[in-house]
Amino acid sequence: MLSLNIKNETSRLKAVILGIANSNGPTPSIEEAYDPKSKMHIENGTYPIEADMISEMDEVAQVLKKYDVHVFRPQLIQNYNQIFSRDIGFVIDDKFIRANILPDREQEIEAIHHIIDQIDPEKVVVLPEHCHIEGGDVMPHGDFIFVGTYLGEDYSSFITARTNTEAVAALQELFPHKTVKAFNLRKNNDDPKENALHLDCCFQPVGSKYAIIHENGFLNPDDFNWLVQFFREENVFKIDKDEMFNMTSNIFSIAEDVVISDKRFSRLNQWLTERNITVETVNYKEIAKQEGLLRCSTLPLIRE
């Protein structure tokens, strides 16, 4: 049996699901794309090639191996995108919560049943269908659960809005002793620089007390200000629009003092190094073209 344990983003990682890029399928049509950055690359003829993405994910697997992390991979579904494991479920404390993901991505969950079967069934939670939620929007942080959501009445017109207010309420009911703090995110189906697809696309805690954040990802200035005050101004690494577009907040922590980051993020990587955090760099620019990065392609199961 797998004894799940996730209380935050940064404690020493012991077991994780890492997505796979094999048999990713042909380049989608613009109508099939479900995020604006993929759309942009389809239009420009620069959509990523499977072999490049496989090799980028291999680099991550190698780093995880170096740190003795147990790595699970999804079973292969032919011609289907299975890179972004993060969104298909998430762990809080010792519970695995199955995500109610975008219908276009629904099959992804079938490919991790061999892992879910190793969890005590009493610890596996399935939320009602009307609770839309994806793991990229959910971040346990000690006594808090931070959740990205979209509160607009036009929720259903945004393919980029993945977590609704019903799911936020359901999480609060499931974890009555924690404070669920929801953040209203900016959504845009067409412009990737104006779209915070998930909370982890504009924010992430890192190290023992730091956070990476992009102000414009938050629709309400109060939400942004709350986070800056919570982490304290001096501990916050603010990223601009282009850095958000490059997915700079979407690195992945192996421990408080070790992260996996993209080679391109020189400003962030230097800032982390100056704070005594070891930065393991990988090439991930092809994966990034689908509006996801390192946090998005990993689903942590056990941290110390």
The residues that touch ligand CIR, with contacts defined as CB under 6 A, are: 34-35, 38, 84, 86-87, 105, 136, 197-198, 200-201, 290-292, 296
Residue with tokens 């049996």: 1
Nearest-approach distance from CB 182 to ligand CIR, in angstroms: 16
Q: Which CB, 105 or 178, lies closer to ligand CIR?
A: 105
Within 8 A by CB and 6+ apart from 222, the residues are none
Asked whether 39 and 110 are in contact (CB, 8 A), the reply is: no
**CB of 291 vs ligand CIR, minimal distance in Å:** 5
When the beta carbons of 108 and 280 are compared against ligand CIR, the nearer one is 108
- 189 versus 235: smaller Cβ distance to ligand CIR: 189
Phi, psi for 96 (deg, rounded to 5)? -100, 120
Closer CB to ligand CIR, residue 187 or residue 303?
Answer: 187
Shortest Å, Cβ 35 to ligand CIR: 3
Q: Closer CB to ligand CIR, residue 42 or residue 180? A: 42
Say which residue the tokens 């762990």 belong to: 91
Q: What gap in Å lies between CA 57 and CA 83, rounded to an integer?
A: 9
How many C-beta neighbours within 10 Å does residue 84 have?
26
Runs of H (alpha helix) within 34-77: 36-44, 50-66
Residue of closest CB approach to ligand CIR = 136
Tell me how far, at minimum, the Cβ of 147 lies from ligand CIR, in Å. 13
Query: Can you tell me the distance from the alpha carbon of 163 to that of 180, in angstroms, rounded to the nearest whole number?
Result: 13
Other beta carbons less than 10 A from residue 181's beta carbon:
17
As a whole number of angstroms, the distance between CA 230 and CA 227 comes to 5
Least distance CB 56 / ligand CIR (angstroms): 15
Nearer to ligand CIR, 24 or 269 (CB): 24
- Taking the complex as a whole, the smallest distance from the CB of residue 177 to ligand CIR amounts, in Å, to 26
